[in-house]
Amino acid sequence: MGVIIFANCAVLDGTQDARREDHHVLVDGDRIREVSDRPLHSDVAETIDLKGRTLMPGLIDAHVHVIAVDSVLSRLAETPLTLVTMQAGRVLEGMLRRGFTTVRDAGGADGGLAEAVEQGLVHGPRLFPSGQALSQTGGHGDLRPRTRSVVACACCEYGAGLARIADGVDECRRAARDELRKGSTQIKIMASGGVASPYDPIWNLQYSDEEMRAIVEEARSWHTYVLAHAYTPEAIRRAIDNGVRSIEHANLIDQATAEHVACRRRVCRPDAGHLRRSASLWP
């Protein structure tokens, strides 16, 4: 990208409560060089007249599922990976067109999709993938029909899917290491039941303290963190106390648990490695 002047725009940059009308912005490559309330001129710049439209920083969505291309999530396992990938590309393009320039995928997308965006093969926002979320047998990520027996290999890596199954400390360590190996920038776990899974009630607690701590330890070894699907106060507190850094949903959180989370956050800040990998996702 060369030098561009965005003329006659309203600037909304988050530093003030209101838009700044009738402004002009000079962008040189990937840097904003000047913001002015007077017209700007350059012999080498392309000028784009925005005619009063709003110019603002890209939006960030910290919880998306770019491969959730079917409302019946269990059908993803029966859909060819190539088809899901092409459909996910359309989802990413739609996000970018709606103004999102960075997204964190909370289960399903892998490092390959992030690389496709970086290489320009897919038009989409910068992507922080969690890979397949980790779920216990019978947990929120276990979408197998009841008629399917537990297989000898508990990873259940068949077709596309938002999650994989790992039970016990050793399996949890292996699954976390495997997702990080494949390019995940953080690890997602299922810590409670939910509304999109067929068999586990929302109040169900998932993953033991020992399993959670093992997953968190593996993430920390990669200088990253764990996010957890958790609805209830008990599930949220359990995840936070075992080192989980980001709680997803938290629909049923109560005041006491919210205060507990806030207290834990003050004493557990991101380390330098995590800031290097995904600083834009932290306030």
pLDDT at 155: 46
pLDDT average, residue stretch 195-202: 86
pLDDT of residue 160 exceeding 70: no
pLDDT at 269: 53
- Give me the percent of the chain exceeding a pLDDT of 70: 89
pLDDT average, residue stretch 122-151: 90
pLDDT of residue 154 exceeding 50: no
Name the pLDDT band for 279 (thresholds 50, 70, 90). Answer: very low
pLDDT average, residue stretch 103-108: 97
pLDDT of residue 152 exceeding 60: no
CB of 24 within 8 A of CB of 7? yes
- Total residue length of the chain: 283
45-71: per-residue pLDDT in tens?
999 999 999 999 999 999 999 999 988
Average pLDDT of the chain is 89
267 CB-contact burial (10 Å; exposed 0-12 / middle 13-18 / buried 19+): exposed
Distance CA 126, CA 104 (A): 8
pLDDT of residue 31 exceeding 80: yes
pLDDT average, residue stretch 4-33: 93
pLDDT average, residue stretch 185-190: 98
In the numeric block, the tokens 């992507």 are attached to 127
Distance CA 81, CA 26 (A): 42
Q: Which two tokens stand for residue 134?
A: 């980790």
In the chain, the DSSP E strands lie at 3-11, 20-28, 31-36, 46-49, 54-55, 59-64, 100-105, 126-128, 133-135, 163-165, 187-190, 226-230, 246-249
Name the pLDDT band for 170 (thresholds 50, 70, 90). Answer: very high
User: In sequence order, what are the residues at sequence separation of 6 or more whose Cβ sits closer than 8 angstroms to the Cβ of residue 153?
Assistant: none
Of the candidate ranges 33-42, 75-84, 151-160, 268-277, the one whose mean pLDDT is the lowest: 268-277
Q: What is the DSSP letter of 52?
A: T
- Helix, strand, coil percent content, the chain, rounded in steps of 5: 30, 25, 45
Element (H, E) at 87: helix 81-97
pLDDT average, residue stretch 108-119: 96
pLDDT at 151: 59
CB of 38 within 8 A of CB of 80? no
Angle at 26 between CA 20 and CA 32, to 5 degrees: 85
Q: Which residue has the higher pLDDT, 137 or 149?
A: 137
pLDDT at 72: 81
Distance CA 166, CA 155 (A): 6
